[in-house]
A and B are shown apart, each in its own frame.
Chain A
Amino acid sequence: MITFDFEKPLVEHEKKIAELRAYAKEAHIDVSPELASLERKRDQLCAEIYANLTPYQKVLVARHPNRPYTLDYVRLMCQDFLELHGDRRFADDLAMVGGFATIAGRRIVLIGHQKGRDTKENLKRNFGMAHPEGYRKALRLMELADRCRLPIVTFIDTPGAYPGIGAEERGQAEAIAVNLREMIGLGVPIICIVIGEGGSGGALGIGVGNRVLILEHAYYSVISPEGCAAILFHDSSRNQEAANALKLTAQDLLSFGIVEEIIPEPLGGAHRNHEQAAALVKDAILRHLDQLASLSPDQLREQRYQKYRAVGVFTEAQQLLAHPAPS
């Protein structure tokens, strides 16, 4: 598994544990007390490192190639999943998946960005960057959910909507805009979960919900730290500063009231334990489904509208203040 520079003490510690195990095996002696103590220390170290990640380190964790993706959660969380394909207009975008799912006996429509784990799969999944047809497929499935009165759960995990010629020709902007407008009007509960990368408009395109939740080490931003650094400092290597400035961590988002809840990750990040990550996500979904179950379609629409209506930080000056009249 890929490890990060900031995990160096952890990696070294794990080497120690492995050495001790090998030695014990060879020498046929019992080292279980020592081993237990070393493992306790490793867990402590791991917890410490992950509790103190910088914003940019979190971005790296959110992009870890072993991080569970949408279909991993589906496999681990759902007792049934029936995938549906295509936008009925142009193609089936494999960077966006969706279908009927059953989770703890409850039926939902589940939609999410899908990344690939290797080069071949990433070619197919376009690194989780959807084209307009992905957003249109998502909307088609959400409208289907609305007609079937099934709650909608979306998993957000994309570097961004794909910036390419075909995407522009087929109206990437229009596809996202229509989703933003139409998701407000759906009469079923919508729970959106940022599981990895929340890349700007491409994330928001399936991200308008009654609840927006985010994993502990996921991020959500208007621009990537690299892109921001290039614009702000004319230097794409100053991505740490850019990540700090963008306030893109789960903890920042909670403080702004953009997300309702941070879903904790397993010790050392979701990539270290898919099963536990899925269990934590599943628990959050069920809890929020319960909370929203009593709301009528109109109440759901109203709650969603007011949630977004309230976002914005500004002041309203007194009329007495000199207005800068056009010269």
Chain B
Amino acid sequence: MSILSRIRRRRPVIPDGLWMKCQSCEEIIYTKTLYEGNKLCPKCGYHYPLSARERIALLCDEGSFVERDAYLIPLDPLQFPEYLDKQEKSRSKTKEYEAVVTGVGRIEGIATAIGVMDFGYIGGTMGSVVGEKVTRLIEHACTERLPLLVVSASGGVRMQESIIGLMQMAKTSAALYRLRQARVPYISLLTNPTTGGTTASYASLGDVNIAEPKALICFAGPRVIKQTIRQELPEGFQTAEFLLEHGLLDMVVPRPELKATIARLLRYLLNLPVAGPEAAA
């Protein structure tokens, strides 16, 4: 492959044309088909990223989601170079104030505390606002005894908040300790990519951990590992399927089956009356 075509491959998919080339299989696909569906390649099933709002629309019963803490806004505690500028750019790009949207919605009728990360906002990184919103959501789930679902898509702790960002790992995990003590169930859905401090805190702590096919899930990124060990990484290393094989996930679920699978899990976790496939004698 020429260098140019390799660069083209890496270029993000820009959905303004009628037709586009799939990032994964390189087949030409009709852009509208991709965007009207669940953003799956109609040819190879590649899972294109969803924004937080798209994910909520996919998982929640229509119109059931009520957002919480929507107005938490990041500051710049370290006066880190270009941080405010990055916030502004991400805000105008994603139309979100921060990298997570939290609230309560219904999944096949089951009221659930839901947090969804948005990779578009500074790479879905966790700073003070993400940590605070996720913690408040967990605390709300705990007091209202609502099952918790967190959908992760994150580059880890936000470098621009350094130690304050790092401590959000401890803060969110502390809240999960209390949720667990209260015996309120938690499902973690890991999507492409979930890395670093996010994986090393709430994303790994579900009673049930689910991932989307082929999602990159790791603590240290492949580049860092390659630099450290100075050898090639095995094929499929750190994909959802790799994690499933190594006992770190309960299941890998394709996007079209996600909602029904989560609802089925919730009915078991909450011991609700049977419905759907488990009702069949």
Residues of A at the B interface (CB closer than 8 Å) are 161-165, 167-174, 176-178, 180-182, 184-185, 200-201, 204-205, 207-208, 220-223, 227-228, 231-232, 245-248, 252-253, 256, 258, 304-305, 308-309, 311-319, 321, 323-327
Q: Which residue of A lies closest to B173 (CB)?
A: A180
The answer on a CB contact under 8 Å between A324 and B219 is: no
Could you say which residues of chain B place their CB within 8 Å of the CB of A312? 128-129, 131-132, 164, 167-168, 171
* A245-B77 contact in complex given A163-B225, A170-B246, C-beta closer than 8 Å: no
Q: Which residue of B lies closest to A324 (CB)?
A: B95
Report if B18 contacts A (CB, 8 A).
no
Could you say which residues of chain B place their CB within 8 Å of the CB of A246? 78, 159, 162-163
Could you say which residues of chain A place their CB within 8 Å of the CB of B218? 168, 173
* A200-B170 contact in complex given A164-B229, A314-B72, A325-B95, C-beta closer than 8 Å: no
Query: How long is the Cα–Cα vector from A34 to B204 in the complex, in angstroms?
Result: 64
Q: Could you list some 18 contacts between A and B, CB below 8 A?
A: A163-B225, A176-B201, A176-B219, A177-B205, A181-B177, A182-B177, A207-B170, A220-B163, A222-B157, A222-B161, A222-B166, A305-B178, A308-B171, A311-B168, A313-B128, A317-B72, A317-B97, A321-B71
Query: How long is the Cα–Cα vector from A219 to B161 in the complex, in angstroms?
Result: 15
Q: Which residue of A lies closest to B67 (CB)?
A: A323
The answer on a CB contact under 8 Å between A258 and B167 is: yes
The answer on a CB contact under 8 Å between B77 and A208 is: no
The answer on a CB contact under 8 Å between B72 and A316 is: yes
The answer on a CB contact under 8 Å between A221 and B162 is: yes
Total A-B pairs, Cβ < 8 A: 199
Could you say which residues of chain A place their CB within 8 Å of the CB of B96? 324
Cβ-neighbour of B219 out of A167, A178, A327 (below 8 A): A167
Question: How distant is B50 from chain A, measured CB to nearest CB, in Å?
Answer: 12
Cβ-neighbour of A180 out of B161, B174, B196, B225 (below 8 A): B174
* A181-B171 contact in complex given A163-B219, A312-B131, A323-B71, C-beta closer than 8 Å: no
Query: How long is the Cα–Cα vector from A43 to B73 in the complex, in angstroms?
Result: 49
Query: How long is the Cα–Cα vector from A3 to B77 in the complex, in angstroms?
Result: 34
Question: How distant is B233 from chain A, measured CB to nearest CB, in Å?
Answer: 7
Question: How distant is A129 from chain B, measured CB to nearest CB, in Å?
Answer: 9
Could you say which residues of chain B place their CB within 8 Å of the CB of A205? 200
Most A-side CB within 10 Å, residue of B69, B91, B159, B219: B219
The answer on a CB contact under 8 Å between B246 and A173 is: no
* A172-B80 contact in complex given A181-B174, A312-B128, C-beta closer than 8 Å: no
Query: How long is the Cα–Cα vector from A205 to B201 in the complex, in angstroms?
Result: 10
Q: Which residue of A lies closest to B229 (CB)?
A: A164
Cβ-neighbour of B166 out of A167, A204, A316 (below 8 A): A204
The answer on a CB contact under 8 Å between B71 and A317 is: yes
Query: How long is the Cα–Cα vector from A201 to B197 in the complex, in angstroms?
Result: 7
Question: How distant is A86 from chain B, measured CB to nearest CB, in Å?
Answer: 20
Which 9 residue pairs of A and B lie closest in terms of their CB atoms, listed nearest first? A163-B220, A180-B173, A312-B128, A173-B199, A313-B77, A173-B219, A324-B95, A173-B200, A317-B71
Question: How distant is B26 from chain A, measured CB to nearest CB, in Å?
Answer: 28
Could you say which residues of chain A place their CB within 8 Å of the CB of B132? 312, 314
Q: Which residue of B lies closest to A172 (CB)?
A: B219
Question: How distant is A160 from chain B, measured CB to nearest CB, in Å?
Answer: 8
Query: How long is the Cα–Cα vector from A312 to B228 in the complex, in angstroms?
Result: 32
The answer on a CB contact under 8 Å between A309 and B219 is: no
The answer on a CB contact under 8 Å between A163 and B228 is: yes
Report if B191 contacts A (CB, 8 A).
no
The answer on a CB contact under 8 Å between B159 and A228 is: yes
Q: Which residue of B lies closest to A315 (CB)?
A: B73
The answer on a CB contact under 8 Å between B95 and A165 is: no
Cβ-neighbour of B170 out of A170, A204, A228 (below 8 A): A204
The answer on a CB contact under 8 Å between B77 and A174 is: no
* A248-B163 contact in complex given A163-B228, A173-B199, A177-B202, C-beta closer than 8 Å: yes
Cβ-neighbour of A222 out of B165, B205, B248 (below 8 A): B165
Against A, the Cβ 8 Å flags (1 = close, 0 = not) of B66-99 are 0001111111011011000000000100011100
Question: How distant is A54 from chain B, measured CB to nearest CB, in Å?
Answer: 16
Question: How distant is A133 from chain B, measured CB to nearest CB, in Å?
Answer: 14
Could you say which residues of chain A place their CB within 8 Å of the CB of B69? 316
Report if B112 contacts A (CB, 8 A).
no
Question: How distant is B250 from chain A, measured CB to nearest CB, in Å?
Answer: 13
Report if B148 contacts A (CB, 8 A).
no
Question: How distant is A37 from chain B, measured CB to nearest CB, in Å?
Answer: 43
Cβ-neighbour of A258 out of B53, B163, B225 (below 8 A): B163
